[in-house]
Amino acid sequence: MSSDDRRLDVLRAIVEDYVATREPVGSRALVERHSLGVSPATIRNDMAALEEAGYIAQPHTSAGRVPTDAGYRVFVDRLSTVKPLSGAERRAIGSFLEDAVDLDDVVDRSVRLIAQLTQQVAVVQYPSLRRSALRHVELVPVGPRHLLVVLITDTGRVEQRTVEAERDLDELVVARLRTHLNVSVAGRRLPQLGDALATLVDAFEPADVPLVRAVVTVVEETLALDSEERVVLAGTANLARGGTDFTGTLGTVLEALEEQVVLLRLLSDMAEDAVPVTVRIGHETQHAGLLETSFVTTAYGDEHGAVARVGSIGPTRMDYPATMSAVRAVARYLTRILAGS
Amino acid sequence: MSSDDRRLDVLRAIVEDYVATREPVGSRALVERHSLGVSPATIRNDMAALEEAGYIAQPHTSAGRVPTDAGYRVFVDRLSTVKPLSGAERRAIGSFLEDAVDLDDVVDRSVRLIAQLTQQVAVVQYPSLRRSALRHVELVPVGPRHLLVVLITDTGRVEQRTVEAERDLDELVVARLRTHLNVSVAGRRLPQLGDALATLVDAFEPADVPLVRAVVTVVEETLALDSEERVVLAGTANLARGGTDFTGTLGTVLEALEEQVVLLRLLSDMAEDAVPVTVRIGHETQHAGLLETSFVTTAYGDEHGAVARVGSIGPTRMDYPATMSAVRAVARYLTRILAGS
DNA sequence: GGTAGCACTCACCCTCTCCGAGTGCCAATC
DNA sequence: GATTGGCACTCGGAGAGGGTGAGTGCTACC
């Protein structure tokens, strides 16, 4: 074994011990807990090298070492081995998710499940409208001049908007519009929709054009709006439990989590990475409130491929292998269930 | 002024000072900050009486007094004066809420607004299905044997469920069922729906009855399910900010808040009280996790009357007058907007 | 390169003391 | 009878001081 290899072993040991104990780990404890076959003094030399390389740091002189974000990064990328779930756990996940009655329920159960499994904050992103296809458009008059537009996607998601008409609604026009819309949109995705919607106006009397145009605009806007992507959280209480993490920054973390925008940006950012499970560690989240947290996500989808992401947020000092495998397991079942229904 | 009156004055002063400073208040500080016209010694006698009556307590000997839950109760019921919002605040509330595009957005904006105004956790309950009327039922086939049932209420709320058929769906039967359902349900509330739905089965071929019955059941279940009531939260980060509140119980509070069931029970419980603004103080919440918090709620509704509740949760040591008026103001605008659209 | 020894550092814990805000009670006063 | 001034007492909290031990870096040695 080369000394480089041993250094990485030492790094792994430090991460594992620190995650387990939450306390800076010293050279003596390291040789005692792991059979490294060398003396503490040697470990100290290795530690000095690791510190030089920026993988570990000392909270203060004469304290043990703590992994840095860079150290966790190396651990995640090169040193960790997956921690598969037990068969019983897998079955429990499957059956719990299969009992869901609709999309909302599936999402709700998934997010609770991840929070439970990881004992951290769970995040589930609703299936993205842009990647799913429209199945049906429903128009419902609510009051003489207001029209409720309901969009239903093939993932079972429902979006709604209200349109205000310039004059009283004509039931016949609404019915024609409904029919036309459904012919135009059925099964199409956003990029293909533009032209179909544009020509739709031609089929109506000039007097009705404002209404038609308004409805079309609403449909387009709804489909285009990133902000309509939603994430659901669970397990925020897990942040406060266990105590010692997050000295005084818990408030900042909660603030960041309440900002859907922050989470959505992070999620879409992570979607770029071409890896099965994406991890953002500490400062890599690019958000001041999440400096002391890490974010583990993976994609789930339906038969057409990736649709959205699920993940878990916890302290940078988290059990990465366990979190990664829990997140991935739930995503798999989620994909299976969405494809099946 | 009778001595009883002064004692209540003292109680009010204690509550106000404690809320402002977060520190036990002593007799000397009291006479200095409030012009009570008597000496500290007199106040001490009054304090002894108030303590005897259970309205205040000492954290430890030789410390000042702190209001008990009972003390806050008296303060809220008899001693506090409403703190009206400024005209600018009112206008800000109104215009912020009026920009909402749909029901979800209205609810979302309301909850953020309350969190912002009270600097506490805000709670908004979605309009209750049981009290709102059905406006429309939409059936959408998703796959050969799956039918998506979408319910739309007159408050603009949308509920969805999937039904699995025993055999492939017949588009004509679905269309007839859609028509019949909409004739049966239009504008009716749950109690009146039962019979209409029951007789609906007679209008179909025996072979189609299972499907019809399944859909009817789903409609009934959806409307009947209490658990389908939903609450939305915002401002949980406010719990952690400011620091000194919640010694170590923050985790428990967050846990309680994550339990929709807990909040819904509390909300429905509070709906029983025949007062404009309901307050639950500390142990009155009947929940161990909320022992150190108070919950201020009020009803909002549409033109038909009360529909659901909005509120704010904060430490028992909160500014009750301010919280109550903020909650009430938002509820009023909410009512106006729901009635108007 | 690995190891043993050694001096040094420094957070943490424990104890002790001091301080002062605040109380309760009592006797004097209005 | 209510109010007040005076006074002894209590006790949490802040601060100082000292001991302890885990942990390090360095150097000489194998």
B23: the nucleotide nearest its CA (via C1') is: C21
Spatial separation of the C-alpha atoms in residues A149 and A164, rounded to whole Å: 11
* A95 and A235 both lie in a single domain: yes
Contact A162 B102 (CB under 8 A): yes
In a domain, B78, yes or no: no
Residue matched to tokens 């509140």: B245
B44: the nucleotide nearest its CA (via C1') is: C23
CATH number for position A117: 3.30.450.40
In a domain, B110, yes or no: yes
Closest Cβ–Cβ partner in A146, A158, A248 for B158: A158
Closest Cβ–Cβ partner in A135, A142, A162 for B140: A135
pLDDT of residue B306: 60
CA–C1' span, B48 to C29, in Å? 22
Q: Are B83 and B320 in contact (CB under 8 A)?
A: no
Chain B residues 117-176 with a CB less than 8 Å from chain A:
135-136, 138, 140, 142-143, 146, 148, 150, 152, 154, 156, 158, 160-162
Spatial separation of the C-alpha atoms in residues A143 and A166, rounded to whole Å: 13
User: Which of B221, B229, B254 to probe the A interface (max A CBs under 10 A)?
Assistant: B254
Which residue from A61, A62, A215, A198 is spatially nearest to A146, judged by alpha carbons?
A215
* B199 and B280 both lie in a single domain: no
In a domain, B173, yes or no: yes
Is the CB of B57 less than 7 A from some atom of nucleic acid strand C? Answer: no
Spatial separation of the C-alpha atoms in residues A297 and A308, rounded to whole Å: 10
Within A 53-72, residues with CB less than 7 Å from strand D: 58, 61-65
Q: Which residue of A has its CA nearest to B241?
A: A251
In a domain, B60, yes or no: yes
* A117 and A261 both lie in a single domain: yes
* A107 and A140 both lie in a single domain: no
* B154 and B242 both lie in a single domain: no
pLDDT of residue B227: 40
The secondary structure of chain A in percent helix, strand, coil, rounded to multiples of 5, reads 55, 20, 30
Which residue among A224, A244, A275 closes a domain? A224
Neighbours of B149 (CB within 10 A): 23
* A301 and A332 both lie in a single domain: yes
| Residue A280 φ/ψ, nearest 5 degrees | -115, 125
B37: the nucleotide nearest its CA (via C1') is: D3
Is the CB of B241 less than 7 A from some atom of nucleic acid strand D? Answer: no
User: With a cut of 50, which residues of chain A have pLDDT below it?
Assistant: 226-227
pLDDT of residue B203: 81
- Measured CA angle at A72 (ends A67, A74), to 5 deg: 115
CA–C1' span, A61 to C13, in Å? 19
Chain A residues 245-264 with a CB less than 8 Å from chain B:
248, 250-252, 254-255, 257-258
CB contacts < 8 A (A, B):
95
B341 contacts on A by Cβ (under 8 Å): 142-143, 146, 162
**DSSP for residue A166:** S
From residue A167, how far is each of A133, A146, A209, B88, B328 by CA, in Å? Answer: 32, 10, 12, 34, 35
CA–C1' span, A3 to D22, in Å? 26
Chain A residues 66-125 with a CB less than 8 Å from chain B:
101-104
* A114 and A159 both lie in a single domain: no
* A306 and A170 both lie in a single domain: no
Residue matched to tokens 């842009």: A130
CATH number for position B212: 3.30.390.60
Which residue among B28, B43, B70 closes a domain? B70
From residue B202, how far is each of A299, B137, B179 by CA, in Å? Answer: 47, 19, 14
B234 contacts on A by Cβ (under 8 Å): 258
Total of domains in chain B:
3
Neighbours of B5 (CB within 10 A): 9
* B206 and B331 both lie in a single domain: no
Which residue from A90, A153, A155, A188 is spatially nearest to A339, judged by alpha carbons?
A155
In a domain, A248, yes or no: yes
Neighbours of A330 (CB within 10 A): 28
pLDDT of residue A244: 59
Kindly write down the DSSP assignment for every residue of A72-123, as one continuous string. HHHIIIII----PPPHHHHHHHHHHHHT--SHHHHHHHHHHHHHHHHTSEEE
Is the CB of A247 less than 7 A from some atom of nucleic acid strand C? Answer: no
pLDDT of residue B210: 87
| Residue A264 φ/ψ, nearest 5 degrees | -65, -40
Q: Are B19 and B2 in contact (CB under 8 A)?
A: no
* B188 and B248 both lie in a single domain: no
Which residue among A208, A224, A240 closes a domain? A224
What residue numbers bound the domain in which A62 lies? Answer: 3-70
Cα maximum dimension of chain A: 89
Q: Which residue of B has its CA nearest to A253?
A: B237
Is the CB of B13 less than 7 A from some atom of nucleic acid strand C? Answer: no
User: Whose CA is nearest the C1' atom of nucleotide D5?
Assistant: B41
pLDDT of residue A129: 65
* B307 and B165 both lie in a single domain: no
In a domain, A186, yes or no: yes
Neighbours of A61 (CB within 10 A): 5
CA–C1' span, A25 to C7, in Å? 22
- Measured CA angle at A228 (ends A225, A232), to 5 deg: 155
pLDDT of residue B256: 96
Which residue from B251, B198, B88, B179 is spatially nearest to A240, judged by alpha carbons?
B251
Contact A239 B254 (CB under 8 A): yes
Tokens, residue A266: 């992070």
User: With a cut of 50, which residues of chain B have pLDDT below it?
Assistant: 226-227
CA–C1' span, B245 to D15, in Å? 26
Kindly write down the DSSP assignment for every residue of B253-305, as one continuous string. HHHHHH-HHHHHHHHHHHHTS-SSEEEEEGGGG--GGGTTEEEEEEEEEETTE
CA–C1' span, A41 to D29, in Å? 14
